[in-house]
Amino acid sequence: MEQTSLNIVAIAVFMMTLSALLSPVLNISPFIPAGTTLAILGLATLDTFSWEGKGLTLFLDLFTPTEERQRIIHHEAGHFLAAYCLGIPVTGYTLTAWETFKQGEKAGIGGVQFDFSLLSDAQKVTKNPLIIERTFTVLMAGIAAERIVYDNVEGGQEDKQNLREIMSVLGLRAELYQQKENWALLQAKNLLIRHQNTYEKLVKMMEKRASVEECQQLIQKTLVDS
């Protein structure tokens, strides 16, 4: 079951327990909170098995605080800038669950979409092994951005999972995973600090939902001017 659905179920169980305790005090019929709780649980179950958790993700997205939305933008701008600088094509980006849903992407709160097709070309990877290292850096750039801007990290679990899946496919030994992850995080952090002015301007452009092409033109111009 999706984590979002599990959270809703936990809240529903808590509400039912609390309402059972308070119903006699507030003179509320026990059927009202029980019926509401069952309805929530039913919707959570239906959403999990029929809509793959998208419904609850979209609903909760309506209540996302401004601070969290800003963190998401800073996180994704880190990915975008690193990808551009390291030659990994960006095909699109979203910053909310609704935007992700409208673009037909899998359920989520947003993200930058990359073209990692070069990784499937063994010949090109053999000739240029830096493609792998650059891909790792791009995947860790969102976490690096949060660490720079907020001094802590709240997102990035999916990024780490994707990184480890790629390392597994490439046949890297499991004991090297953490080392590679730390190295990529350091490289991403250095890149973002080196281009901090460009990064800050990119954040503002992405806040306005500028197109991928507009964001790339901004990066190119500010890198040339700096």
pLDDT, tens digit (0-9, with 9 covering 90-100), for 81-106: 999 999 999 999 999 877 877 776 65
Asked if residue 45 has pLDDT above 70, the reply is no
132 plus 92 within the same structural domain: yes
27 plus 77 within the same structural domain: no
In CATH, what number is assigned to the domain containing residue 199? 1.20.58.760
Per-residue tokens: 211: 């197109």
Asked if residue 72 has pLDDT above 70, the reply is yes
45 plus 148 within the same structural domain: no
171 plus 117 within the same structural domain: yes
178 plus 127 within the same structural domain: yes
54 plus 76 within the same structural domain: no
Mean pLDDT of the chain: 80
Helix axes 196-207, 66-85, angle to 10 degrees: 130
Residue ranges making up the domain that contains 10: 3-61
Residue 170: which residues within 8 A CB-CB, separation 6 or more? Answer: 119, 132
Per-residue tokens: 168: 């597994």
pTM for this predicted structure:
0.75
180 plus 97 within the same structural domain: yes
Domain boundary among 61, 81, 107: 61
pLDDT at 51: 47
